[in-house]
Structure 1
């Protein structure tokens, strides 16, 4: 199984670590898993996160 650190995930998606934490705060960040003293994001969690963001972009914006 491949997984990414927070920094690797941010680099893959071209946003800052602070943006990552903002997404997590509002419930829009990827699932994470603790591995010893590190937080990792699995490939599966990344795929789910992308699918959720894509689905969200297809929703009509409330007025």
Structure 2
């Protein structure tokens, strides 16, 4: 296989990886921004502990 094709495949793979990482970082930042807004509004108790939701496997604020 000529080196140009190998380089092109590497560039495509890198572009796909960057796209996935950007999408994930935006998703995480959106969640963090929502958390910060809720804390500012006083909706969440800052002393609340996290409890694992057995149905989804995600951690959510639980009873203090």
Assess same fold via TM > 0.5.
no
Structure whose residues are more often helix by fraction: 2
Structure whose residues are more often strand by fraction: 1
Max Rg structure: 2
- Greater relative contact order (Cα < 8 A, sep 6+): 1
- TM-score, with structure 2 as normaliser: 0.31
- TM-score, with structure 1 as normaliser: 0.31
